[in-house]
Amino acid sequence: MENQEWGYLPNDCWERIFRKVREDDERDLDSISLVSKQFLSISNRVKQNLTLNVNAHTLHLLPNILRRFRHIKSIVIETNIPKNIYDSIAVDRVLNHIARSRILLNLHALKFRCHIEALRDGFRALALSKNMKNNLKVLDCSGVMSMEDEDLVLIADLFPQLEELRIQADRYFGDDANIKDVGIRALAVKLKELKEIMIYCPLDAGFITDKSLRSLSKNCVKLRKIDLCISKADQHNVTEGGIDFVMCHSTNLTSLSLDLPLLQPSPSQFKKKPSPSHFAIGNGFANAKNLHSLTLGEALISNKHISLLAKAYPPLKKLELRRFSGDNSEIHGALKMLLHACQLTLEELSLRFWSLTNTDISDLAPYLSNLTSINLDGLFWLTSVTFYTLTKSCPLLEILTMANMKEQETDTFSPDFLHKNYRMRHLDISENPWLNDTILVNMGHVCPNLQFLCVSCCWRLTNVGIGEVLRRCPAITQLNINHLEVSNDIFGRYSDNSSKLNLKTLKARETQISDKGMAMIRNRCPNLQYLDIGFCKKVTDKGVMEVVKKCKRLRNICLDGCKKVSSSITLTHKTDNNHTNFKPKMSALPQNPTVLGCGAVTVDFLAAVEAYPKPDEKIRSTSLKIQGGGNAGNALTCAARLGLNPRLISKVADDAQGRGILEELEADGIDTSFLVVSKEGNSPFTYVIVDNQTKTRTCIHTPGFPPMIPDYLSKSSLSSALDGVRLVYFDGRLHETALVVGHEAKSRSIPILIDAEKKREGLDDLLNLSDYVVCSAKFPQAWTEASSIPSALLSMLLRLPNVKFVIVTLGGDGCIMLQRSATEGEQSEEIDIDCLLESLNQRKGSSNTAIPTCISSARTKLRANGIGTISGQLFIGTAEKIPPSELLDTTGAGDAFIGAVLYAICAGMQPETMLPFATQVAAASCRALGARTGLPHRTDPRLAPFLQQIS
């Protein structure tokens, strides 16, 4: 126990902690994932719900996202522009990606919040996956417009195991009623496992009759929930007979929601005298003995129905009665009787847009003692008296909504209201013209443990009331003050300006906040994560930057309509080791960012020592790190962090090292589905000794066994690996497999980049296939036997006629690149390439720039004595001079350089940008122990000057 590190917890303990965090707010996992690779990996496993905002600019990110979150159970798909046909195509492509994924084994719910056309092609693609066809339980198409009977038949055929289905019709794309009885019947007949169904028909988009309700009730014996919402009276022929049939025959029904504008008269056949096997029309609610949740629209709210419900004594937990505009006195007694009947079970009550008064609420209050949630939105005649009544009569109340109340009043606080409700955590009293500072402060006195407060559009409130209620309710984490006349002293001039608030979400749209108010937010809200200051016309770039720099947990800021905030503002949030960019000013990602790599992956055991040991000497390490390595693995990790979508062909064993390799690669977004995992043998690993004195490293490599052979890669896998690839990269290892991949890539005209680190078996054959070559410092002369590096580069271009450029990396001295030119340029006379390099070095010596730069020659005819001539252009890329105190480990610096070159080629960077960009990335990797620890992400501010230059 003496040697055990304090604070260590195994992964399974962290996973339990993260699961608890997820229960409160899954968004908090985003912040946790930034702490370390360990936390990133665990949070990836724990995350269950994923929201995808789909458009042309985000589609290419999807494969990496799906690989990162392997245990997702529910995916929500959103789009930005409602009813955009191009978004429908994009969402179809997303569904194709999901269908082809071999990773999402736990996915059971798909939800669409995108207002697009029906997705028939996407649904068919999903059903081709046996896993999706059998495991998909929840399909929410309430955001899919223009659904027709044909779509319902298709869904029923493709997804027979569905348990929950939500559908919506819309006439935006046509004039005919889209959803009718025939479609609902198809669903009812084929979806035997259906437990919940929601049908929403707005704007004449459907025509539903009793036949639909009867089909569902007869065929879907497991049905527990029906939700039917129809906007217009001429869109349906639902009668009391149909509702009665459902209530009598759906024995498992526990939740019913019927929002109809008008209840149609029952057909004549139901008006006959009922036989013993029939039921009396209109008495169906007498059978509501099993209902736990009930929602009724205005057409079904009557004294008869409410009385029948009360006599049935249903174990209701949730009751919602919407929009009753009739004579309240006619139904008040029945409502009171129903609340009394459900008093012991009822937890949630919603009476939106009724004409109740404070007196009515006081009369009902004795039967509301067990409620935890009450919604009284739109009850125009209520005042704060009802608030005091409910908070006193409902000791378990946690959520109260009293919005849109128009009655004028003065402060009615009295000694009778000196009670406290410690359970109340959510209060929405928005759009109340009677709400003033005094009333708000008194409400805060009653509910000291509030966590959510919405007072938007309460125009009589001032900074004083806001500040005082925050002082009285220090647990408030979400505050909505949209459209208030509050200004710079946003939290009240009487509050303690030095105290910190617990706000995580602040919505302050269309307020009078300026940069001074932003300074107060900066100083008072250190835990702020979400900030909305849309249309705050006095806020400038300065105020925004102040908040972003100080609020280290900020994840989202809305600036739409802020006219004094420039559209190109770069919002960089810097923490000790992380940089979070909200709207970085840089180039868009490459149009085709997919690259395929084939080569080595290993586990690196890195030990830093004061000095390299002498023979038979025992020394101690100064630090130890275990992480993934291998040239291909490192280079593709770098490319992934820069924004590319890498795929990798390699091989590991099914051992602890192999599983660790896969997990780390996947955490960085690399597609590992083409890696071969052998059941026997061992994964490759490398011991790396880092000499702190000489700043060098020594590698001792143990290859994996059995070795990779081309037979392990099937033709179908190779074809899939190369589909849509922009660039192929080989690190010179696994040469037999690499040659197979290289020939196939060449047949598809996919360019190839080779890492020529040293002479290896099969490397010459790969070089003959290459379009780009990046060499180590010793390789060019070793391969060509030329007398100098420039002459060797020229010789390589002569021997490899397909190569467009060759680069040699020189560590701290930067790099040299020779690029082939189709034309000779203005200068036609030959120039000795060694002399040209010397002149460029002289120009390099006169350059005093702090960041890496590039010095280039003109295009001309270059000569190397005894070798030949070539038309080309010579470049020198300078390297950052890293202070000795910051230079920790050069392991993988060359791989980082290659990863940056992969990105540069895909992005179309010119050599003048590519070379200093690549040396900057390599320099960043040298500032941490290990090949991957220091690899920068695309949002790293050190890369911004280069990324902004991409045309």
CA distance 119 to 130: 19
Mean pLDDT for the stretch of residues 269-291: 61
pLDDT of residue 35: 75
pLDDT of residue 533: 93
Segments in 668-785 forming alpha helices (H): 715-722, 735-747, 763-767, 779-784
Looking at residue 487, its amino acid is S
Q: Which of 532, 533, 511, 527 is nearest to 466 (CA)?
A: 511
CA distance 200 to 191: 19
Rounded to the nearest 5 degrees, what angle is found at the Cα of 712, between the Cα atoms of 64 and 104? 30
* Lowest model confidence (mean pLDDT) among 436-440, 540-544, 828-832: 828-832
Q: What are the contacts of 280-283 at 24+ separation with CB within 8 A?
A: 281/240, 281/241, 281/244, 282/240, 282/244, 283/244, 283/308
b/e map of 879-905 (b: 16 or more CB within 10 Å)?
A: bbebeeeeebbbbbbbbbbbbbbbbbb
Helix (H, G, I), strand (E, B) or coil at 43: helix
52 CB-near residues (< 8 Å, 6+ apart): 58, 62, 65, 75, 76, 77, 78, 94
The percent of residues above 90 in pLDDT, for the chain, comes to: 51
Tens-place pLDDT, residues 758-806: 999 999 999 999 999 999 999 999 999 999 999 999 999 999 999 999 9
Confidence of residue 943 (pLDDT cuts 50, 70, 90): confident
CA distance 515 to 176: 53
Tens-place pLDDT, residues 589-648: 677 789 999 999 999 898 989 999 999 999 999 888 888 999 999 999 999 999 899 999
Report the DSSP beta bridge partners of residue 306.
none
| Percent of the chain that is helix, strand, coil (3-state, to 5) | 35, 20, 45
Mean residue pLDDT across the chain? 85
* Lowest model confidence (mean pLDDT) among 189-198, 271-280, 375-384: 271-280
Q: What is the 3-state secondary structure (H, E, C) of 128-192?
A: HCHHHHHHCCEEEECCECCCCHHHHHHHHHHCCCCCEEEEECCHHHCCCCCEEHHHHHHHHHHCC
* Lowest model confidence (mean pLDDT) among 105-114, 178-187, 269-278, 796-805: 269-278
Tens-place pLDDT, residues 224-257: 999 998 877 667 788 888 899 999 999 999 999 9
Residue whose token pair is 């890498």: 646
pLDDT of residue 275: 39
pLDDT of residue 273: 46
Mean pLDDT for the stretch of residues 885-894: 90
pLDDT of residue 86: 47
Q: Which of 306, 171, 152, 190 is nearest to 231 (CA)?
A: 171
Name the token pair of 859.
């295009």
What are the C-alpha distances in Å from 219 to residues 151, 191, 564? 19, 8, 61
Which strand (E) or helix (H) includes residue 506?
strand 505-507
Higher pLDDT pick, 582 / 292: 292
CA distance 653 to 658: 5
Tens-place pLDDT, residues 509-539: 999 899 999 999 998 999 898 999 999 989 9
Name the token pair of 220.
């879907």
b/e map of 254-284 (b: 16 or more CB within 10 Å)?
A: bbbbbbbeebbebeeebeeeeeeeebebbbb
Bridge-based pairing of strands 196-201 and 225-230 is: parallel
Q: Which of 727, 732, 724, 592 is nearest to 650 (CA)?
A: 732
Helix (H, G, I), strand (E, B) or coil at 398: coil
CA distance 786 to 793: 9
CB-CB neighbours of 146 under 10 Å: 20
For residue 411, is pLDDT > 90?
no
Looking at residue 283, its amino acid is N
* Lowest model confidence (mean pLDDT) among 79-83, 509-513, 943-947: 79-83
Mean pLDDT for the stretch of residues 48-53: 80
| Beta-carbon-side half-sphere exposure of residue 604 (alpha carbons within 13 Å) | 28
Q: Which of 237, 201, 195, 230 is nearest to 216 (CA)?
A: 195
CA distance 810 to 814: 5
Mean pLDDT for the stretch of residues 446-469: 93
Q: What is the DSSP string of 525-579?
A: -TT--EEE-TT-TB--HHHHHHHHHH-TT--EEE-TT-TTS-TT---EEE-SS-E
Looking at residue 153, its amino acid is V
Which strand (E) or helix (H) includes residue 364?
helix 358-364
Higher pLDDT pick, 943 / 9: 943
pLDDT of residue 276: 38
Name the token pair of 197.
């169904």
- What is the DSSP secondary structure assignment for residue 274, as one 8-state letter? P
Rounded to the nearest 5 degrees, what angle is found at the Cα of 843, between the Cα atoms of 838 and 847? 140
What Rg do the C-alpha atoms of the chain give, in angstroms? 34
- What is the DSSP secondary structure assignment for residue 647, as one 8-state letter? E
Q: Which of 390, 408, 392, 409 is nearest to 351 (CA)?
A: 390
Tens-place pLDDT, residues 689-732: 989 888 888 999 899 999 999 999 999 899 999 999 999 999 99
CA distance 317 to 300: 19
Name the token pair of 706.
């059995």
Q: Which of 188, 340, 225, 213 is nearest to 264 (CA)?
A: 213
Higher pLDDT pick, 335 / 381: 335
pLDDT of residue 799: 96
Q: Which of 406, 415, 349 is nearest to 378 (CA)?
A: 406
Tens-place pLDDT, residues 301-319: 989 999 999 999 999 999 9
Tens-place pLDDT, residues 662-695: 988 988 889 998 999 999 999 999 998 989 888 8
Higher pLDDT pick, 129 / 642: 642
CA distance 766 to 754: 7
Tens-place pLDDT, residues 524-581: 999 898 999 999 989 998 999 889 888 888 878 988 889 888 865 655 443 333 333 3
Helix (H, G, I), strand (E, B) or coil at 848: coil
The percent of residues above 70 in pLDDT, for the chain, comes to: 87
